[in-house]
A and B are shown apart, each in its own frame.
Chain A
Amino acid sequence: MPEASQPSSSFAAEPQAQDSIGFRTLLKKEVMRFWSVLGQTVTAPVITALLYLLVFAQAMSGRAPVYEGVSYTQFLIPGLVMMTVIQNAFANTSSSLTQSKIMGNLVFLLMAPLGPLEWFAAYVAAALIRAFLVAVVMLLVTIPFVHLPLEAPLILILMFLLSAGSLAVLGLIAGITATKFDHLAAFTNFFITPLSFLSGVFYSVHALPPLWFKASHLNPFFYMIDGFRYGFFGKADVPIWQSLSWATAFFVTVSAVCLWMLISGYKLRK
């Protein structure tokens, strides 16, 4: 049996380099986690979204175009992509953190020299990667059948980052708060799913009765989807500055809450 080697100085690294390695490791671990169950984390949501597309596009095919020169199917795809993106960004962070808490392996992270910002950035970045994969696969699958213009690509990227980022952060908040899977399911079923379905994915809010029209404008997911759609068509239900403002404000608000939780150790460190 070989002897245990002397604790050596060969692991020396500058503190900042060590912090960077820590962040990159946590990011890699989070990506590996969803990558190891790709069928469940990417393929399944894409198939579900494509089924929605198939059914709704077929059922609504006779309707007048929502915007001038934009067919219903064209209108539907960006909304479905964004809805899937936000649901998966939320699922990635929330399920990872909740599982770690419930299985107890979160202690590995809690005992490690990783700060709140590194946690935040690594978890959110991993969720963005999963959301990006889901979006790209959905668009690649639909491109052969439906032509989508790309009027404002920078807006498209910005809305993707703000929306997926916000939901990833919201997932972190849910993961920190939840003490059992029931809590997470309640958060998803009573908050994320209803708000994403009632956000103008399948229709223009201008087609709604006045009360629901006004209610839709209080739903932050509506601005995420409307702004994302603007990136494709250069037109949307509300002015783009309004969507960008809402999405930015939502991201800043949830990020502030989440960082406070991580810094204070809320429900993580007793």
Chain B
Amino acid sequence: MVCPMNDVSTDLPAIQIAGLRKRYGAVQALDGIDLSIRRGEFFGLLGPNGAGKSTLINIIAGLIRSDAGAISVLGHDTVGDWRRARRCLGIVPQELVFDPFFKVVDMLRIQAGYYGCGKEVWPWIDEMLERLDLASKRHSPTRALSGGMKRRVLIAQALVHKPPVVILDEPTAGVDVELRRTLWSFMRDLHAKGTTVVLTTHYLEEAQEMCERIAIVDKGRVRIVATTEQLLARNPYRFLKLRLTDNAQLPESLRGLITSEKNGVIELKLELEKQPIAGVFAALRAAGVGIDDVHTREPDLEDIFVELTARAPVVLSA
């Protein structure tokens, strides 16, 4: 591959970030980011809007210059050894950008050329066009493509030189379910074969499903880095959903536990250690309230996200 992998130790992290700072006027966009992403990981970078995720990615990509700190990609410093660092990286930008002068296949070949790749990558380009359902558009001008198609071309452009580290900056924002499935199937295959994938997304269920480890960034700082399981286990709550007989009222002793009440379904938030479900049932029984339906829900990444950032995530509809 184009990235000079032979001269890097396999122990080196895919991306190492140390003491990264960036200020825009009065706004401290990044306030001392330290992060190590291991080789071969599927890593999630989450945070609310304005948390500093895109600034971080843009600094890794070389689009923005940091005020302080250092980043290396597979051991190559992104400033001192920028050429090798960039060859190891493939980045799908968040914005839907394209070059209107070129056809899809020409654009991909040009992008490969920027990374020092010649005709040897053409079969890989053909394969990507197939996998991303772009084969029928290979000779279409990029300006004539739909938004979803343009997004696919962006993804193919990032992967065209087969980078060992891929960063996807909200790749599924505003795209349909079919593309999401296509993309995740493709990325899973690449990841299974050793590619490190870093994902930022507002779809927390995607991050929960795809990522092995997750960092939550807020106000320019890393709030937590943990495996997805550790993150989920960190929440000491469980949620209990009840539909009461004849839309009866909850006893007063349980009303303080309500988190939502919608269409006759009441959701209670229970502390795992102190508030067993049996206690709720006992209180209902004592009050003479019957139950028509009951569900439990374990906390998901969204609950953790809200707890850590004290802000609700922006969830876009599919």
Contact = CB atoms under 8 A, between A and B. Distances in A.
B194 A7 contact: yes
Interface residues of B, number: 53
Given A1-B185, A32-B101, A111-B91, A270 B116 contact: no
A60 B152 CA distance: 60
Contact of B124 (A1, A5, A19, A103): A5
B120 A29 contact: no
A11 B1 contact: yes
Interface in A1-56: 1-13, 15, 17-19, 21-22, 24-26, 28-29, 32-33, 36-37
B237 interface: no
A109 interface: yes
A36 B100 CA distance: 11
**B2, B61, B102, B120 interface centre (most CB from chain A within 10 Å):** B2
A201 to B, nearest CB: 31
Contacts of B106: 32
Contacts, number: 137
A115 interface: yes
Contacts of B83: 15, 19, 113, 115
B116 A113 contact: yes
Q: How large is the interface on A (under 10, 10 to 19, 20 to 34, 35 or more residues)?
A: 35 or more
Interface in B133-169: 157, 161-164
Nearest to B99: A105
B120 A11 contact: yes
Interface in B190-215: 190, 193-195
A113 B95 contact: no
Nearest to A13: B116
Given A5-B127, A15-B4, A25-B113, A108 B194 contact: no
Contacts of B186: 4
Contacts of A1: 130-131, 185
Given A32-B101, A103-B97, A270-B64, A4 B114 contact: no
Interface string B73-94: 0000000001110110101010
A18 B87 contact: yes
A6 B99 contact: no
Contacts of B115: 18, 22, 112-113
A107 interface: yes
B210 to A, nearest CB: 15
A156 to B, nearest CB: 32
13 contacts: A1-B131, A5-B193, A7-B193, A9-B1, A28-B113, A29-B113, A103-B98, A103-B100, A107-B63, A107-B95, A109-B114, A113-B84, A113-B116
Interface of B: 1-2, 4-5, 58, 61-65, 82-84, 86-87, 89, 91, 93, 95, 97-102, 106, 110-118, 120-121, 124, 127, 130-131, 157, 161-164, 185-186, 189-190, 193-195
